[in-house]
Chain A
Amino acid sequence: MILLPILMVEDNPQDELLTLRSLRKVNLGNPVDVVRDGQEALDYLFKEGAFAGRPGPDLPAFVLLDLGLPKLGGLEVLARIRADARTIGLPVVVFTSSSEEEDRLASVLRGANSFVRKPVDFTQFAEKVAKLGVYWLAVNEAPSSAS
């Protein structure tokens, strides 16, 4: 059984480390692919640019998407994902420091499957990440990608 990877879009290396550590702690076994800006995320998903001919499954199990990203912002990335038939059913979890109502609303309107705020408190953080991993990898049943 091939474990689908998790695609983490995160430009903050500390958040990346803390997230990865938290995921590791729950022993999910799925690999985590990390891209650091919006453009890279799209290239990864559509196997374009630097990711052209990328090995492995076409799509990850789910996307952990930060909003405050260089180049292409998270909301824009989300919109592109939902605009493409290949990724229309791809679970996307918006994972951000923002607690703004506007961000929550914009994310849902653009088709985010979930909106999760990164808590400052690491204990809470680790707990949330762990729950996310378990839910989206083990609990949720995503439609098989239409390609």
Chain B
Amino acid sequence: MFYPVVFLSSWMGGFEAGLVSTFLSTGLVWWFFLTPVHTLVKPLPGSYINAAMFVAMGFLFCYFHRLLHRANRKAALAMEAEHQATFRQAAVGLGHMTLDGCWIQVNQRCCEILGYTRQELLAMRWETIAHPDDLESDQNLLQRVVAGELSERGLETRFIHKNGTTGWLNLAFSLVRDSKGDPGYFIAVMEDITPRKQAEQQLRENRAHLDAALASMTDAVFISNATGEFIEFNEAFATFHRFNSKAECARRLADYPDIIDVFMADGEPAPLVMWAVPRALRGETATNIEYSLRRKDTGERWVGSYSFSPIRNKQGEIVGSVVVGRDITDRKRVQDELRQNQARLAAVFAAIPDVILEYDATGRAVMANEAALRVAGVSTLGFLRDEVVTKLAFQKLGDPFARQETFPVARALRGETVAGELYSIHTAGGMDRVVSTYAAPFRDGDRITGVLALWHDVTDLKRAEEKISRNAAELEQRVAERTAQLVAANKELESFAYAVSHDLRAPLRAMDGFSQVLLEDCAKVLPEESRKHLVEISQASHRMSGLIDGLLQLSRATRGNMELVPVDLSGLAGALLAELAATDSARRVQWRIEPGIQVQGDPRMLASALGNLLGNAWKYSSQVPAARIEVGTVFEDGQSWIRVADNGCGFDMAYADKLFKPFQRLHRQDEFPGLGIGLATVQRIVQRHGGSLKAVSVPGQGAAFLMSLPNRSAMEPP
């Protein structure tokens, strides 16, 4: 009955245990169940045999068990090794972890991924490598795994690498339960997805960059696939095509012919195949191709400058196109205006008869107008100013030795503005011209970038000027000659007057003297008739003497220099009349003088003139009972006159032209004695003052003499 038990224990207990239990049970059985009768002292042979058999059987069982155990063990070891190898060399990171997060076992890959050695890892918990932000979700995952909700589902989570960087794992946990079904430990399977994550991140960033770049571009950018669908386009694309928003834009090229008309740069309509996208899709690459566009709905026109190229894949096949369009309408308009301005400027330059030259900062001519061509024969641009100077024999007028540094362009290049300086040039046509030069610098800030020079042909003007000055000189010469002649004539006249006053009197004196002598000495001898004749001779000589005095008075009246000073004519007239009244006290003459008559003139001459007029008035009113003389001013013919009037006999206006001629008289000597020199004298004095003299009269009612004395112009003596 012990046998099964012993065998079982030896089977179960293994070789050594089996043997011990066999021997113990044998001894026990032997001692207890075999009575002392059955002692070892008196053993039964049979018993010995039984015991031996029992032991042998125990040995056998143990042996078999051992054999069997060894085979089992071998198979288990092989399996274990296989597992270990798989564990160790798995391409994914594997690790066993206790339920509370301590590592039990990690494989090589796991170490590589996490950056720690095995020893380091086994001393660590999950929490220390988990990314703080993801720890909660990691733990959540573990709980759910434990709860059986999730198993073997991966989680993308972050961890902290030993070197401090953050990495990404695709992490899966599975729970190993023990034989009783209780949770044992976790098996963690981790895959390093950091590169993928980084690539994804990079891609996202790139995408963001691209979006930002596209959004920030003012040029319309659109990318199409091979079939002409727009897979990318920016906000500017919408604006460029006059859509209100990006959403409004048609996404297929094929829709666009219904929206816009496109024209080539030359204005010809462009069929769809000639548009930028189809051209790019055919493999063409181009920049700055101009198209003009027109919205079919609004008719709005604009001009775009397009650059495009195809997009190729690695195999070189065209998979799409990228097109950039820029609205250059404004630029075109500005360019057009600029072109028009330039054309206008060019037309102006061409039309200006003056030579216009533009020099750059180095003194090289960069522009010359038509006149430059015509006048200077300067046909090629790029010549230097020195060449112009040499070629045209450019010289400062009146200073042929002036140095070139002092010439207008050179000075303008130094910042000066030159205007109106005269230079002579010898033109290509062989003409000598005089030009008035102008040169001014162009400035860009403080820097002189060039010079504009202008030559105005003043040759004709110069010649005219010369002619005028020549004429003037001639005229002056002639005037001088005439003046000299006049002076000579005047001198002659003076000496004549002197001779008259001096030499002509002597014979008269002799005539008178000897007549008197005869009368005195021979009065008794001479008959009455002869004595009368002698008296006639004497009277004639007196008369002749009077004429000579008159002549002298006339000639003296306007001789000498005039001084122009204010003269009180009223006062002068009063004095003269008082004098007349004193010398002719027999007469009663009434006079009235307008007070405050003031003129500008020569006091001596005016006294003479006024004296003559008043003397006449006095004389010719002598036969009127109530003689009246008036001195005043009147305004006639736009000027003011000094009027001297009397109520005397007057004169016949028919003879008025004779009034002012010397020695011409309108009255007989026996009526009114006189020489006929007074009014001639007045006339000459008034003329000398630049004025005029006139007379009005009605015979028997008096006469009025009017003289004007303009203040401004007093004529100089000849």
Partners in one complex: yes
Q: A residues within 8 Å of B by Cβ?
A: 12, 14-15, 18, 21, 67-68, 96-100, 118-123, 125-126
- The answer to whether B509 and A118 have CB atoms under 8 Å apart is yes
- The answer to whether B502 and A122 have CB atoms under 8 Å apart is no
B506 interfacial by beta-carbon distance below 8 Å: yes
Pick the residue among B501, B507, B513 that contacts A122 (CB under 8 A): B513
- The answer to whether B545 and A120 have CB atoms under 8 Å apart is yes
Pick the residue among A18, A99, A120 that contacts B552 (CB under 8 A): A99
Interface core residue of A18, A96, A122, A123 (most chain B CB under 10 Å): A122
Q: List the B side residues contacting A122 at CB < 8 Å.
A: 509, 512-513, 515-517, 538
Q: List the A side residues contacting B510 at CB < 8 Å.
A: 12, 14-15, 18
Q: B residues within 8 Å of A by Cβ?
A: 498, 501-503, 505-510, 512-517, 538, 541-542, 545, 549, 552
Interface core residue of B507, B513, B541 (most chain A CB under 10 Å): B513
Q: What distance in Å separates the Cβ of B714 from its nearest Cβ neighbour in chain A?
A: 22
Q: List the B side residues contacting A120 at CB < 8 Å.
A: 505, 508-509, 512, 541-542, 545
CA gap between A25 and B503 in the complex, in Å = 26
CA gap between A126 and B502 in the complex, in Å = 18
CA gap between A123 and B517 in the complex, in Å = 10
Return the chain A residue nearest B512 by Cβ.
A122
Return the chain B residue nearest A96 by Cβ.
B502
CA gap between A68 and B515 in the complex, in Å = 24
- The answer to whether B509 and A100 have CB atoms under 8 Å apart is no
Q: List the A side residues contacting B516 at CB < 8 Å.
A: 122-123, 126
CA gap between A99 and B513 in the complex, in Å = 19
- The answer to whether B509 and A119 have CB atoms under 8 Å apart is yes
- The answer to whether B552 and A97 have CB atoms under 8 Å apart is no
- The answer to whether A14 and B514 have CB atoms under 8 Å apart is yes
User: Can you list 23 pairs linking A and B with CB atoms under 8 Å apart?
Assistant: A12-B510, A14-B506, A14-B507, A14-B514, A15-B510, A18-B517, A67-B502, A68-B502, A68-B503, A97-B502, A98-B498, A98-B501, A99-B501, A100-B501, A100-B502, A120-B509, A120-B545, A122-B512, A122-B515, A122-B516, A122-B517, A122-B538, A126-B516
Q: List the B side residues contacting A123 at CB < 8 Å.
A: 516
Return the chain A residue nearest B503 by Cβ.
A68
- The answer to whether B502 and A14 have CB atoms under 8 Å apart is no
Return the chain B residue nearest A25 by Cβ.
B520
Interface core residue of A100, A119, A120, A122 (most chain B CB under 10 Å): A120
Q: List the A side residues contacting B502 at CB < 8 Å.
A: 67-68, 96-98, 100
CA gap between A122 and B501 in the complex, in Å = 17
Return the chain B residue nearest A117 by Cβ.
B505
- The answer to whether A125 and B509 have CB atoms under 8 Å apart is yes
Q: What distance in Å separates the Cβ of B350 from its nearest Cβ neighbour in chain A?
A: 75
CA gap between A119 and B507 in the complex, in Å = 12
A15 and B501 in contact (CB under 8 A), knowing A99-B552, A120-B541, A120-B545? no
Pick the residue among A97, A121, A125 that contacts B501 (CB under 8 A): A97
Pick the residue among B498, B507, B512 that contacts A100 (CB under 8 A): B498
Q: List the B side residues contacting A21 at CB < 8 Å.
A: 517
Pick the residue among B498, B513, B549 that contacts A125 (CB under 8 A): B513
Q: List the A side residues contacting B506 at CB < 8 Å.
A: 12, 14-15, 97, 118
- The answer to whether A118 and B542 have CB atoms under 8 Å apart is no
Interface core residue of B506, B545, B552 (most chain A CB under 10 Å): B506
Q: What distance in Å separates the Cβ of A119 from its nearest Cβ neighbour in chain B?
A: 7
CA gap between A123 and B519 in the complex, in Å = 12
Contacts beyond the supplied A14-B509, A119-B509: 17 A-B pairs with Cβ under 8 Å? A14-B513, A15-B506, A15-B509, A18-B510, A18-B514, A67-B502, A68-B502, A96-B502, A99-B549, A118-B505, A120-B509, A120-B545, A121-B512, A121-B545, A122-B517, A123-B516, A126-B516
The 3 closest A-B pairs by CB, nearest first: A14-B510, A122-B513, A120-B545
- The answer to whether A97 and B513 have CB atoms under 8 Å apart is no
Q: List the A side residues contacting B517 at CB < 8 Å.
A: 18, 21, 122
Q: What distance in Å separates the Cβ of B162 from its nearest Cβ neighbour in chain A?
A: 140
Q: List the B side residues contacting A15 at CB < 8 Å.
A: 506, 509-510
CA gap between A97 and B502 in the complex, in Å = 5
CA gap between A83 and B549 in the complex, in Å = 35
CA gap between A35 and B541 in the complex, in Å = 27
Return the chain A residue nearest B499 by Cβ.
A68
Q: List the B side residues contacting A67 at CB < 8 Å.
A: 502
CA gap between A96 and B502 in the complex, in Å = 7
CA gap between A122 and B541 in the complex, in Å = 10
Q: What distance in Å separates the Cβ of B511 from its nearest Cβ neighbour in chain A?
A: 9
Q: What distance in Å separates the Cβ of A9 from its nearest Cβ neighbour in chain B?
A: 15
CA gap between A123 and B503 in the complex, in Å = 19
Return the chain B residue nearest A68 by Cβ.
B502
- The answer to whether B505 and A97 have CB atoms under 8 Å apart is yes
Return the chain A residue nearest B519 by Cβ.
A122
CA gap between A54 and B517 in the complex, in Å = 33
Q: List the B side residues contacting A100 at CB < 8 Å.
A: 498, 501-502
Q: List the A side residues contacting B514 at CB < 8 Å.
A: 14, 18
Q: List the B side residues contacting A98 at CB < 8 Å.
A: 498, 501-502
Q: What distance in Å separates the Cβ of B296 from its nearest Cβ neighbour in chain A?
A: 113
Return the chain A residue nearest B508 by Cβ.
A120
Q: List the B side residues contacting A125 at CB < 8 Å.
A: 509, 513
CA gap between A98 and B516 in the complex, in Å = 22
Q: List the B side residues contacting A18 at CB < 8 Å.
A: 509-510, 513-514, 517
CA gap between A90 and B335 in the complex, in Å = 110
Q: List the A side residues contacting B541 at CB < 8 Å.
A: 120
Q: List the A side residues contacting B498 at CB < 8 Å.
A: 98, 100
CA gap between A21 and B520 in the complex, in Å = 12
Q: List the A side residues contacting B503 at CB < 8 Å.
A: 68, 97
Interface core residue of A67, A96, A99 (most chain B CB under 10 Å): A99
Q: List the A side residues contacting B513 at CB < 8 Å.
A: 14, 18, 122, 125
Q: List the B side residues contacting A12 at CB < 8 Å.
A: 506, 510
CA gap between A37 and B660 in the complex, in Å = 42
Q: What distance in Å separates the Cβ of B396 from its nearest Cβ neighbour in chain A?
A: 57
Q: List the A side residues contacting B507 at CB < 8 Å.
A: 14
Q: What distance in Å separates the Cβ of B506 from its nearest Cβ neighbour in chain A?
A: 5
Q: What distance in Å separates the Cβ of B381 from its nearest Cβ neighbour in chain A?
A: 80
Q: List the B side residues contacting A118 at CB < 8 Å.
A: 505-506, 509
CA gap between A99 and B541 in the complex, in Å = 17
Q: List the A side residues contacting B549 at CB < 8 Å.
A: 99
CA gap between A119 and B509 in the complex, in Å = 7
Q: What distance in Å separates the Cβ of B510 from its nearest Cβ neighbour in chain A?
A: 4
Q: What distance in Å separates the Cβ of A73 from its nearest Cβ neighbour in chain B?
A: 11
CA gap between A13 and B321 in the complex, in Å = 142
CA gap between A100 and B494 in the complex, in Å = 11
